[in-house]
Amino acid sequence: MTQITLRRPDDMHLHLRDGAMLEAVLPETARHFARAIIMPNLVPPVVTARDAAAYRDRILAALPDGMAFDPLMTLYLTEATDPADVAAAHASGLVKAVKLYPAGATTNSQSGVRDFDKVRGVLEKMAEIGLPLCVHGEVTDSDIDIFDREAVFIDRVLDPIRRATPGLRVVMEHVTTKDGIDYIGETEKNLAGTITTHHLIINRNHILAGGIRPHYYCLPVAKRELHRLALREAATSGDKRYFLGTDSAPHPDHLKEHACGCAGCFTATNTMALLAHVFGEEGALDRLEGFTSNHGAAFYGLPANEDRITLEKTTTPARFPAKIDTGAGTITVFDPGFPVHWQVRD
């Protein structure tokens, strides 16, 4: 197969940041994607319906003329979150999910949850109204190895939350382990998982073997090869419980290439070409549309996009920009480390 046409895809986990960074990275997503679930971990975070409305206005103001894009807003769950505000934001159509960050788990997560009993009322209200909870699935205990934090989160946090609030709809975001895939696979309803582009391509050797490569460092961190293979199997399986959430996370190079570098891979620019490569390798190009365009929309109760995009396979490797210039500094575009022969046709 040298050409494939898909419904225009959705990115069900995206970081756009704000200000000059937002203006620079938004077109990289809007060029190919119709909608995206927008992460709320700004400084200060997007906590209330008013915050979400203001952020959505800034996103739409930054959208270049001639581009169509629908930002799907989320709220940042804190121990002071008001269940009534969450319900009103959902009822208005503004907010599509609430994001749970364990405090200290990733970028700008300092306002996240430490005592899960303090958010019980919010979770119960969300279960009542059908509003999904998106979870960053890692514990932050200093005695837990960073490569084990997802598996421990499932046992200590996620499973108890779901048992205590059985009607709660949950997205386990950026799954990185076979443990996560197995947990989702054993659940018949109300649980789904997003998988990133970069976790389908890299394992922890890419970050550490032969020197530290900061542009492959992300959280959750890439794991062993057996986990990457489990992610590939799930993503290309056609199982509706798995869908694309790139977790594309822009950081200026001077903060990535740093003594304490930021976590995140910026994949918005070349995600669709990379996914066509991955699904082609797995003999699953016929399942790419489900993963990128159908499964996520169905979980969130959204209509499938009517617009289409076409990807073509070329004899010569596709060329992508190495950097994106922003008013906040240059951003490095994710490099898969191999030639890619797919590209989106303009």
Q: Which residues does the annotation mark as catalytic?
A: 247
Closest-CA residue to 192 (of 250, 241, 142): 241
Write down how long the chain is: 346
Q: Is the peptide bond before 220 cis (omega within 30 degrees of 0)?
A: yes
Structure tokens of 94?
């503004």
Q: How far apart are CA 207 and CA 218, in angstroms?
A: 9
Q: At what angle do helices 83-91 and 49-62 cross, to 10 degrees?
A: 40
Instruction: Kindly state the helix (H) or strand (E) to which residue 5 belongs, with its residue range.
Output: strand 3-7
Does the CA dihedral 219-251-276-302 come out positive or negative? Answer: positive
Q: How far apart are CA 327 and CA 3, in angstroms?
A: 36
| Cα 222 from chain centroid (whole Å) | 14
Q: 113 pairs with which residues across the strands?
A: 102
Exposed / middle / buried, residue 13 (Cβ in 10 Å: 0-12, 13-18, 19+): buried
- The number of beta carbons lying within 10 Å of the beta carbon of residue 138 is 26
Kindly give, in sequence order, each residue whose CB lies less than 8 Å from that of residue 333, ignoring residues fewer than 6 positions away: 266, 267, 269, 270, 320, 321, 322, 323, 324
Could you give the strand order of the β-sheet that contains 342-344, starting from the edge strand earlier in sequence?
3-7, 308-313, 342-344
In the numeric block, the tokens 């617009």 are attached to 307
CA distances from 100 to 129, 157, 171, 290 (A): 17, 11, 10, 26
In the numeric block, the tokens 């990379």 are attached to 274
